Amino acid sequence: GESVGLHLPTLSVQEGDNSIINCAYSNSASDYFIWYKQESGKGPQFIIDIRSNMDKRQGQRVTVLLNKTVKHLSLQIAATQPGDSAVYFCAEKNNNNDMRFGAGTRLTVKP
Amino acid sequence: NAGVTQTPKFQVLKTGQSMTLQCAQDMNHNSMYWYRQDPGMGLRLIYYSASEGTTDKGEVPNGYNVSRLNKREFSLRLESAAPSQTSVYFCASRPGQASNKQFFGPGTRLTVL
């Protein structure tokens, strides 16, 4: 899962396997969440979002799961490819309608 | 559409120098944001502009000023750069109240010596 600090959590998976990246959020009142992908030297890129009235949302090869009881969010990537290697971070909408971002998890896909 | 563009891509300053980071979006978005990203940390909001003509402080505004020049452009100014401002700066835009999705620029890597 994500944490704040100098070293990002890392996840290494084999090409073709499924990846699960976790995120713990802090505000039980947050009603909207986003997952971003950030490749080296680039800006964050939107992957998928989910509102708090949903438990699950699927996109192309990605699924986001929301567990409000334990304030946990996960991103599942099916059939992970080398191009999926990046830092992934979640963001929650806070009370001021601004987004609060996690530090991220570095995903490495081994060929 | 180019999306969100930022200039420059890289910059090295000496302590005490000033500079302005430029950001422009061509998506007709109402809201624009400036973030900084430091190693191992999440994006932190410096300033934002909910709509043309308005600006507000974010989480870490000290040492920065902003100008929402028009609907397209939102600049970030460092009046007297300090080593603590060494970071990667990202500009983002959002359509407006109807969407929380933010679109990011490619970033400016700033080093203050």
Q: What is the pLDDT of residues B56-95, one digit of tens each?
A: 999 999 999 999 989 999 999 999 999 999 999 999 999 9
Chain B interface includes A71 (CB < 8 A) = no
A99: which chain B residues are within 8 Å (Cβ-Cβ)? 45, 100, 102
Give pLDDT, residue B41. 84
* Distance of alpha carbon B69 from alpha carbon B93, whole angstroms: 14
Helix (H/G/I), strand (E/B), else coil: B13? strand
Distances, alpha carbon B49 to alpha carbons A98, A100, B33, B67, in Å? 11, 16, 6, 9
Residue in B48, B100, B104 closest to A44 by CB: B104
Question: Which position has the token pair 């700033």?
Answer: B110
Question: Which position has the token pair 């010596």?
Answer: B113
A82 backbone dihedrals φ, ψ, rounded to 5°? -55, -35
Q: Are A92 and A71 in contact (CB under 8 A)?
A: no
Q: Are B108 and B21 in contact (CB under 8 A)?
A: yes
The H or E element containing residue A27 is none
Mark residue A59 as left, alpha or beta (left: phi above 0; alpha: psi -120 to 50; beta: remaining). beta
B41: which chain A residues are within 8 Å (Cβ-Cβ)? 4-5, 103
Average pLDDT over residues A75-100: 90
**Mean pLDDT for chain A overall:** 90
